[in-house]
Structures are given as C-alpha cells and as structure tokens.
Chain A
Amino acid sequence: MKRFLKKHLATALLFIFALIAALLFIMPTVLTISNSFMTEKEIMANYGAMIENASSDKRSYISEDLNLKFIPDKVSLQQYTTVLFKSPDYLLKFWNSVILVVPITVFQVLLAAVTAYGFTRYRGRVREIIFFAYIILMLMPYQVTLVPNYLVSDWLGILGTRWAIILPGIFSPFSVYLLTKMMRRIPKAYFEAARLDGASEIQVFFQICLPLCRSAMLSVGLLVFIDYWNMVEQPLILLDDEAKYPLSVFLSQINTGDVGLAFAVAVVYMIPALLLFLYGEEYLVEGITYSGGVKG
C-alpha cells in the first residue's frame, strides 16, 4: 500500500511539473494571439513604454511599466482590420515571405526525392562518400555556407535578387539526407518486382517510389518550410532592397513603430505555420524521428 502511494505520488508530481512546463512553452504563443484582439489604444497603454523615443507629451498617459496582459478588456478586431485592409505594406511583406519559401520548399523536396532515389538505387563506395559529403554540408552553419552563396550569386549576377536565396535553398542537402534515409527502408523487392513487370525507370520512380514516399516527403517539406519561414540571415546579406525583405526580418523593426499593430501582424505571420502544425503534427514527429542518427 505504501509503495502504491509512493508510486502514484511520484507520477502526480511529475505530471504537475510537466503541465507547468507545457504551459510555459505555449505561453508566448497564446499571449501573442490573445493580445492581437486588443484595441490599439489598450496595447499602447500596456506596452507603450517599449517605444523608447516616444515624445514626452505622449509619455504622460503611458505607464512606465509594461503590463503583460492575458485577456483583453474588450475583444476587438481593430488590429486585424488595420493590418488587412488599411496597411498594404504588411501584406506585401507577407507575400515576400511566401514567394521565397514556397518555391524553396516545393523544389527542394522534389529534387531531393530524385536525388534520394539515385542514392537508394545503387549503393557504391563513391556514392557513399558523396552522401557523407552531403551530411557534412548539412551540418555546416550559415556563417560558413553564406560566404560561398554570396560569391556565386555575385558571379551569376543574381546578388540582390530573390534568386540568390531561392537557388541555394533548392539545392540545400538537408532533405536529400532525410529522404534518402527514409527511402532506403523501402524493401528492394518492390522496385525489383515492378522492373520485372517491364516498368521503365521513370515509371518505377513515379508510380512506385513517390507514392510510397508521400508521407516522408510531407514530413521533410514541413521541416524545410519552418526553417525558411523563419529566415533572417539570408535576406539580410543576400538581398539589397528592404522592399524585398520577408516579414520575418521586418517584424523586428515593428516595435519601434506600430506596436499597436505588431501582435496582429505576428499572428498573421504565424497562421500558416500553426495550421501546418495542427494538420501535420504526426508528419512532423515522423520527420524529426528520421532525422536522428547520422549513420545511414
């Protein structure tokens, strides 16, 4: 009996602890969403002190302290209507993000599927060395790969354009690594059988391999999307025109200006990522699981 109690007490304590931790983890997200439903005035009253160079007469009615508030006094869509209908600038930046991230994600995953098929199709020594080189390349931080990217973009004359981000993004080895690991788990007999039935190489790829890899490609695509949706380093270095900056870079400057709108803009930016999360959490977990272990 005593042992029974002790065991349950431990579980209960663990659960409470995990619950608190979990709440802390989602708190910033929840706060951002709930604050986006405040009126601009309420935001200014609570967070106005963040604008350091606000004029002194404006200061008088702004409290010195920042008050983190969970629940708005009055639920209002004012921020959203301003963002969506009155200031086209934000939507433009959002669009900047989309036209960078969507091509990178789609083409990186498709190209990776083709490449992974090559790595799976035949495993020789040279291919294994190349695959290892891909892994090393994948593990290099931006600070290393951005320098070559910059040089090539300069030579090709695409520096400052979106291509300077999109093209290296498409060839990034991350999804090749993941998809190869997933594809190598498909039993070889599937491919052999199709070949014996007279299917061509292209048919085997499109009709056997791709359908079997559908969920794998979704998982990889999700991980790639998050990574690029978050990007800050590449646009700062490879784009010359601030008008082309994605919203992720731009959001850092918003607190010096439109604090009243910042939360709604943040939520708008979060929505695609959150929807993908809600829709594809299982795929995400699968993708992360496969990324574990460097050994092929």
Chain B
Amino acid sequence: MSDTSQKKRRLLREKITSWVWLTPSLIGVLIFFILPFCVVIYYSVLDNPIFANFVGFENFIKLFQNSAFQLAVKNTVIFSVIAVPLSVVLSLWMAFALNSRIPGKSWLRSCFLCPLMVPIASVVLVWQVIFHNHGTLNQITEVFGMAPVDWIKTNWSYGVLTVMFLWKTLGYNMILFMSAIAGIPQDIIEVAELEGASRFYTFLHIKLRYLSPSILFVTILSIISSFKMFREVYLLSGDYLESMYLLQHFMNNTFKSLDYQKLSSAAVLLSIAMIVIIGILFLIERKYGEDVEE
C-alpha cells in the first residue's frame, strides 16, 4: 500500500472517531435546543398551531404593540444601558488596582469573588432590610435630612438593581481583566515610556488595545447577566412589580397563558437582538484591536 493512501485512511479514521465522541452531545443539543428552536421560529409566523396559517410578521407586529412587552423591553434596556457599562468600567478599574502594588491582594480578591459564590436567595433578606421603606438606607438618608424614598417601588428600583448587579458580577469580570492585563507584553510599554509617552497615552493606545478582546467578552457576559436580573427582582419583591417589570416577567406571564405565538415571536426577536448586539461588538473589537496580535 502506498504511503499517501495510508495517510488518507488514517485521516479518515481520525475524522470518524472525532464524530463518535461528539455524537452524544450533538444529539442532546439537537433535541433540546436546535430542533425545538426551529419549531419556535415556525410558530412565530403562524396564526395558531392548530390551523397553521402563515401570517408572516403579524405576530411580531402584535408583539410590538403589546404594552406589557413594551414595558418589559423598556425596563430591560434601561437597566442594561445603566448597569453594563458601569460593570465593565468598574471591574477594569478594580483589576488595574489589584494589579498594582497594594498589600493583601489575595484577601481583597477573595472578598470581591465571594458574592459570585453566595446564592442571591441567601442574602436577599439583607438587601430587603437595606432597601425597605423603613430600612437602613432611609435611616441613613434621614440623618442627612432627606425625605424617605421607596427604593423598590419607584424609579429608584433601577439603582437597587444596579447595586445588586454590580455586587454579583464585578468579581467575575475583574478576574477576567486581571488575567488579560497580565498578558499585555511589558516590553512594548517600556519602549513607549522610554520614548516619552505619557501614562495616559500608554493606557489608551497600548493597554486598552490589548485588552479589547477581553472588554468585548466582559461586555457580552454582562449583557447576558443583566438579562438574568429577574432572579433578584423575584426574590426581592415577589412575582410582580411594575417598576421592575423585566423581560423574564413578560415571558413567565406568557408561559402561564400558554400563548405560543407571543412566546415564540418574543424568543425569536430576542435571539435576533442578541445576535445583532454580539455581532456589533465583534465588529467594534475587530476595528479597534486589529493591529494587535493575539
């Protein structure tokens, strides 16, 4: 047998074995995620599952006109726009701080990581006591002569959510940034400093460029965790609260009424939105960090 055919046969064998290892997971992912999602897309353009008439974008138009959906989208977007940039900037700053020469680094790191492990359900009582009408925060503001605020049931709820969000996510993001900062080549910074570059210049043009893939990833992760804030709201205030009516509330209520059309079109719409957001972030990152080798 010639050498090349033997090589070909070996390659074929490699390919087949690799597929064998992949199969169990592929079957599961197909059954539980991909195939049903195709059905979800199919449902989203039908009038109802029984008669199955094609209605095009009608379900989507109805969804846009639905006031509960509008409220849910508005609240979720407002919250994400406040919380995500804050989380990215603060965690980046914390990572730089912990990478500088301060004592007790590993202790500080443990403290910042701790909230990640602690179940929200466990500490929700403390948050309730702090943000309650007669709670700690209002007692503190009272000392300064301010009128008590209903933190949870007014627009301040965004602030409450942001605090809880930052508490939960900053540690994770900070670790990601710390490892990225450790990967910035020191010689480039040294050369820049020798040539008289200011600290601000090296930060903006060297460090940030090398960090741009991590910034992208942390931003995506934070957006996803911002969609998970329903947990906090549910635990903080029970099921329903107008000042914090988020997308998950909308989904839950739609699940209860089993409105497949509304449910599917919302899921399709949301997945499109996520893909667009991720795509845009990727493009920005590629443009900004293009001349940096990985």
B102 and A11 contacting across the interface, CB-CB below 8 Å? yes
Q: How far is the CA of A130 from the CA of B18 in the complex (A)?
A: 13
B118 and A274 contacting across the interface, CB-CB below 8 Å? yes
A141–chain B nearest beta-carbon distance, Å = 4
B contact residues around A111 at 8 Å (CB):
24-25, 28
B134 and A65 contacting across the interface, CB-CB below 8 Å? yes
Binary interface encoding of chain A residues 48-63 relative to chain B, with 1 for a CB under 8 A from any of its CBs, else 0: 0110000000000000
Pairs A-B, 4 closest by C-beta atoms: A118-B21, A171-B28, A148-B36, A22-B111
Q: Assuming A171-B28, A288-B172, A292-B179, is B36 touching A149 (CB within 8 A)?
A: yes
Q: Which of A25, A118, A130, A134 contacts B115 (CB 8 A)?
A: A25
A151 and B36 contacting across the interface, CB-CB below 8 Å? yes
Q: Which of B31, B32, B100, B118 contacts A273 (CB 8 A)?
A: B118
User: Among A139, A144, A236, which residue has the most Cβ atoms of chain B within 10 A?
Assistant: A144
Q: Which of A168-186 contact B (CB under 8 A)?
A: 168, 170-171, 173, 176
B240–chain A nearest beta-carbon distance, Å = 12
Q: Is B65 among interface residues, defined by CB-CB distance under 8 A? A: no
A226 and B214 contacting across the interface, CB-CB below 8 Å? no
Q: Which of A112-140 contact B (CB under 8 A)?
A: 112, 114-115, 117-119, 121-122, 124, 127, 130, 133-134, 136-137, 139-140
| 5 extra interface residue pairs, beta carbon distance < 8 Å, beyond A28-B126, A68-B135, A248-B120 | A31-B126, A114-B25, A121-B17, A147-B266, A288-B172
B102 and A147 contacting across the interface, CB-CB below 8 Å? no
User: Among B19, B33, B117, which residue has the most Cβ atoms of chain A within 10 A?
Assistant: B117
Please tell me the number of chain A residues within 8 Å of chain B, measured between CB atoms: 97
Q: How far is the CA of A267 from the CA of B98 in the complex (A)?
A: 30
Q: Is B125 among interface residues, defined by CB-CB distance under 8 A? A: yes
The residues of B with any CB-CB pair to A shorter than 8 Å are 14-15, 17-22, 24-26, 28-29, 31-37, 39-40, 94, 97-98, 100-104, 107-130, 132, 134-136, 139, 167, 170-172, 175-176, 179-180, 213-214, 216-218, 220-221, 224, 227-228, 230-231, 234-236, 238, 247-248, 251-252, 255, 263-264, 266-267, 270-271, 274-275, 278, 294
User: Among B21, B113, B122, B231, which residue has the most Cβ atoms of chain A within 10 A?
Assistant: B122
Q: Which of A14, A66, A144 contacts B100 (CB 8 A)?
A: A14
B contact residues around A115 at 8 Å (CB):
21-22, 24-25
B contact residues around A281 at 8 Å (CB):
110, 113
A171–chain B nearest beta-carbon distance, Å = 3
A contact residues around B218 at 8 Å (CB):
292
B66–chain A nearest beta-carbon distance, Å = 15
Q: Assuming A68-B129, A284-B113, is B24 touching A144 (CB within 8 A)?
A: no
Q: List 21 A-B residue pairs with CB atoms under 8 Å apart, sorted by A's residue number.
A: A18-B98, A22-B107, A25-B115, A25-B170, A26-B115, A65-B135, A119-B22, A121-B17, A134-B29, A144-B271, A149-B33, A226-B117, A230-B231, A233-B231, A233-B248, A233-B252, A252-B124, A253-B238, A284-B113, A288-B175, A291-B176
Q: How far is the CA of A56 from the CA of B62 in the complex (A)?
A: 47
A127 and B18 contacting across the interface, CB-CB below 8 Å? yes
Q: How many A-B residue pairs have CB under 8 A?
A: 281
B19 and A118 contacting across the interface, CB-CB below 8 Å? yes
Q: Assuming A66-B129, A147-B263, is B37 touching A252 (CB within 8 A)?
A: no
B contact residues around A144 at 8 Å (CB):
267, 270-271, 274
For B36, the closest partner residue in chain A by CB is A148
A18 and B97 contacting across the interface, CB-CB below 8 Å? yes
Q: Which of A18, A26, A171 contacts B33 (CB 8 A)?
A: A171
A contact residues around B236 at 8 Å (CB):
252
Q: How far is the CA of A111 from the CA of B23 in the complex (A)?
A: 10
Q: Which of A226-273 contact B (CB under 8 A)?
A: 226, 229-230, 232-233, 236-237, 247-249, 251-253, 255, 259, 262-263, 266-267, 269-270, 273
For A285, the closest partner residue in chain B by CB is B175
A266 and B117 contacting across the interface, CB-CB below 8 Å? no
Q: Assuming A68-B129, A171-B29, is B102 touching A252 (CB within 8 A)?
A: no
Q: Which of A65-83 contact B (CB under 8 A)?
A: 65-66, 68
B15 and A294 contacting across the interface, CB-CB below 8 Å? no
Q: Which of A141, A248, A293 contacts B217 (CB 8 A)?
A: A293
B14 and A141 contacting across the interface, CB-CB below 8 Å? no
Binary interface encoding of chain A residues 270-296 relative to chain B, with 1 for a CB under 8 A from any of its CBs, else 0: 100110110001001100110111110
Q: Is A89 among interface residues, defined by CB-CB distance under 8 A? A: no
Q: Assuming A112-B25, A252-B238, is B118 touching A270 (CB within 8 A)?
A: yes
Q: Is A95 among interface residues, defined by CB-CB distance under 8 A? A: no
A11 and B111 contacting across the interface, CB-CB below 8 Å? no
B contact residues around A5 at 8 Å (CB):
none
